[in-house]
Amino acid sequence: MRTIKQIDIRSFITTSTLPALYSHAYDATQILYDPELKAYFIGCYADVNDVLRSPSFTTTPLGQRAQPVMGERVLAQMDGFEHHSKRKGVLSGLTGHLFREKYSTMITEITESILKRFLPAGEIDLISEFGKEYGVKVTLRVLGLPTERHEEVATWHHGIANFITSLDLTDTERKFSLDCSKRLIQYLTPLIEHKIQHPDESLISAIYGSTPPEQKMTTAELVALVLNILLAATEPADKTLAYLFKHLLEQPELFQRVVNDRSLLTSAINETLRMSSPVQLIPRQAEQGATLPGMKFSSGDLVFCMVGAANRDPSAYHAASEFRIDRRVESHSKHEKISPHLAFGAGPHVCVGAAFSMMQIKLTANLILDHMKDLRLAPDCSFHEDGFYTRGFSTLRLQFSPSTLTLTPSKHPTDAYA
Ligand code: 2IO
């Protein structure tokens, strides 16, 4: 039997480092419980992997955490045929050769149009000057929506994301989030209605068109799915990019290897997702009979999977706290099994945008490397990180040799795993 160890998760996040919190979770003789939040926190790789794949742990918590700001259920709340067919609809719009071509042109355009403004200065904040605008614009364009009002959309997105990811929402914050949600839904609804009436080449039309006439989504359902994609694609994008460059630039030799051999970017991004998971928590509800080895849950228990912790569990990874892009190669040569990182989740609700996001981050990283020569961390660069549900730098200042924009020098592969 495991003992229950009471812990104040929030005090831990503000007064200590995440690895210090993680280390409590790796003790497989106990299980962490936060009495204030009335939630279990599990961080062992094997446990997290089990919970995410087990039908005894459901996505019910999203009914309170997401639905109020989404207006309707998100993809992760669905199951059975409905889940299968909507997932397929989203996936079909995000993958395939033609879509990759279309999206890569658009991602290149957006990336270069923002980078262009900073190239002559030789300095950029990858979060505040690049990432925020980049994330929102790419997602809007993927959905087939206009980008003119990207600043307002970013504000609304921020309010909604705060509702979904907060562990202690104040009344004022709750009001602000609900207001952001109302405004974003008001803005999106006519645009989405137009796509229902006049289908085009967009992801929204692909999703709406993917279900047979007798099972058409209501406008509110389609709006919620669009909001779901907007949130899930925007929130982790700038965070992942910033972590990637921080990890690479901290090891100049490794950075040079990647500059010279861009095929290494895929492992570098995967190692970034493992070491610094932009989504740290995934909530589940225990149902009747839900167990983990040595632990019986009661039905209705709230369980947070600490995917960021699991991804650094020393029983799943050698030298778990080292950034090593050669893990896969090394373990293959030793005939060892490699634990896939859980940054995209696992099981039936594993991230539907995983392949697309890999393509997106890889392409953008390639463009940054093309345009910014002699890239380095600014000498006074702060590595302050914010958030525990989703986590990222509040700022990341980079320096490079000043230049002006020359057109995309080389065409980069758009295959997610190329
Ligand atoms: C949007 C935390 C940004 C998802 C969520 C309500 C559902 C789901 C996730 C990720 C990332 C978000 N949950 N994506 O954890 O779609």
Atom 6 (ligand 1) nearest CA: 66
pLDDT of residue 408: 61
Examine residue 297 and state whether it is found in any structural domain, yes or no. no
Phi/psi of residue 322, nearest 5 degrees: -105, 140
242 C-alpha to ligand 1 centroid (Å): 19
CA dihedral of residues 390, 395, 400, 405 (deg, nearest 10)? 70
Q: Decide: 258 and 268 in contact? Cβ < 8 Å.
A: yes
Spell out which residues line ligand 1, taking CB within 6 angstroms: 62, 66, 74, 76, 164-165, 228, 231-232, 235, 279, 282, 390
CATH assignment at residue 399: 1.10.630.10
pLDDT of residue 340: 97
pLDDT of residue 80: 94
Using alpha carbons only, what angle is made at residue 307 by residues 157 and 130, rounded to the nearest 5 degrees? 40
Examine residue 63 and state whether it is found in any structural domain, yes or no. no
Residues facing 40 on adjacent strands = 33, 303
55 C-alpha to ligand 1 centroid (Å): 19
pLDDT of residue 55: 98
Examine residue 11 and state whether it is found in any structural domain, yes or no. no
307 C-alpha to ligand 1 centroid (Å): 13
User: Relative to the CA of 352, which ligand 1 atom is closest?
Assistant: 16
Interval 175-189: pLDDT, tens = 999 999 999 999 999
Q: Decide: 296 and 286 in contact? Cβ < 8 Å.
A: no
What is the Cα 221 distance to its own chain's centre?
22
Query: What single letter denotes the amino acid at residue 241?
Result: L
Examine residue 378 and state whether it is found in any structural domain, yes or no. yes
Examine residue 294 and state whether it is found in any structural domain, yes or no. no
Q: Which of 143, 117, 147 is nearest to 130 (CA)?
A: 117
Examine residue 247 and state whether it is found in any structural domain, yes or no. yes
pTM: predicted TM-score of the whole model, two decimal places? 0.96
Q: Which residues of the chain have pLDDT under 50?
A: none
Q: What is the layout of strands, in order, in the sheet containing 376-377?
A: 123-125, 397-399, 376-377
pLDDT of residue 335: 86
232 C-alpha to ligand 1 centroid (Å): 5
Distance CA 27, CA 145 (A): 47
Q: Tell me the residue range of the domain where 187 lies.
A: 69-278+335-417
Examine residue 413 and state whether it is found in any structural domain, yes or no. yes
User: Relative to the CA of 165, which ligand 1 atom is closest?
Assistant: 2
pLDDT of residue 111: 97
pLDDT of residue 286: 98
Residues facing 377 on adjacent strands = 398
Query: What single letter denotes the amino acid at residue 142?
Result: V
Work out how many domains the chain is built from and give that number: 1
Give the pair of three-digit tokens for residue 16.
């200590």
Atom 10 (ligand 1) nearest CA: 232
Examine residue 64 and state whether it is found in any structural domain, yes or no. no
Distance CA 52, CA 282 (A): 9
